[in-house]
Structure 1
């Protein structure tokens, strides 16, 4: 196997370990009762943000993706091993905390409800390809951490505004994330186009430099009082010039369930 393939495999394993350790959907549950649908609040949010009532965790669970909702993807519920508590993730620049916390779903503000899913694209298997190309094809799969957080009043709108401001301040200067003692250097943020919900933001996130760099994708959108965040990586894409598409099928499916 060529050196580049070895490097790709090693980095892929490192990235996979990073995501297993750092994915998060932390937050508080709510004792509020009701089986209201996830679509509630969209029109209210547009007309009068202060009137928006947040969805409970139980309601967000109903609005979260399930197996079969996204063709060609495996969907599983996040568990305790996927949760990063606020104190476990630190950012060396205060202004970069919102964008850095968003990578791992760390709770921001005071959400009423939370839910999370891991969505993994099924690998591409080509039995006619040579072993190295077959391996590259199998690694070329996008995995996403999808987190939902709901807020009363204008909390969701403020969450998106805070994220937009943080990304603008930290797009080129770089910053360092520390997760349970493991440091990751974010070297560049590049804004991308995305649609969905009432407002949506997206970036290509580069961690590391040169051959050791890896691209990630971050999408955050608001639907009524709910903020949906998607943090994605692709095991087969490494290097400063590497890239992969936004997980639009996952985004569209989740927006559809939010109503």
Structure 2
């Protein structure tokens, strides 16, 4: 599908404002069965017998985030200009959907002060998302950008964080609204996805968004627990915006980040 310059420019502009609003110059979306982390195949995996580890500090998590050179073919950026400054900047209109909204924006899905996030972008000769303008936007969409979030919890907090995401998938299947950084987003559908099977516990879900008449954008979110630490991944594939094809988290990015947590 040929995308209008309005839709492309809108999607690109929002990248520099807020990761959640990557398509709000166009639209919002999410919906389907439960993604229980320890339930059915394809929705999640769990190692319930694993002992709970002590929570890592925010400083420790910063050091564990993917860094330059960790993933071949990808650039790593702190994401300071694109990611929400904190949970107060992201509000879901239904409490059950809050963990999903946080996971999408690289924030902890449950309560903790120990968190860190960044963005990992496929290398390209075109300008970075934050530098796009109307003249360069058409050639800058053959990239994908993944928002990576790490959070750590005491006791069984990490397991409960993943479970909160799983519960939210079923509860919010019909969609929900998000207010973030002055943007009002409408998630239209949430559906359980195929979990990665990595770490001690994993779950995945897809959110879909109507791009203001320019097609449907669908994004996959992966959540993986390793001991007391939860990692979240949300990828936008700019080349597939509006096509209806789901943007999936690159395996190389997920594998590299989980590897640094084990």
TM range (shorter): 0.7 to 0.9
Q: How does 1:1-259 map to 2 (within 5 A)?
A: 4-19=3-18, 46-49=49-52, 52-79=53-80, 82-123=83-124, 138-171=140-173, 173-193=174-194, 194-208=196-210, 210-239=213-242, 241-259=244-262
SS of structure 2 residue aligned to 1:158: helix
Unaligned runs of 5+ in 1: 24-43, 126-133
Distance of 2:220 and 2:14 partners within structure 1: 13
The Cα offsets for residues 186-238 of structure 1, whole Å up to 9 and x where unpaired, read as 11123222231111111221122552532222111100000001121112222
Residues 21-75 of structure 1 show CA distances to partners (whole Å, capped at 9, x for unaligned) of 879xxxxxxxxxxxxxxxxxxxx984433xx201112222222111011111001
1:12 partner SS: helix
Distance (Å, rounded) in 2 between the aligned partners of 1:94 and 1:100:
10
Q: Which one has the bigger helix percentage? A: 1
Change (3 A) 1:240 1:153: same
Counterpart Cα distance in 1 of 2:186 and 2:20: 16
| Larger CA Rg, structure 1 vs 2 | 1
- Go from structure 1 to structure 2 and tell me whether the alpha carbon gap of 1:201 and 1:60 turns closer, same or farther (over 3 Å shift): same
Q: Is the 8 A contact 2:21 2:183 kept in 1?
A: no
Root mean square deviation, CA, Å: 2.9
- 1:18 and 1:110, CA in 2 relative to 1: closer, same or farther beyond 3 A? same
User: What TM-score, normalized to structure 1?
Assistant: 0.77
d(CA) in 2 for partners of 1:149, 1:48: 18
- Paired with 2:55 and 2:106, the residues of 1 have a C-alpha distance of 18
Cα 1:115–1:3 shift into 2, 3 Å:
closer
Measure how far apart 1:241 and its partner are: 1.8
Equivalent residues of 1:84, 1:104 under 8 A apart: no
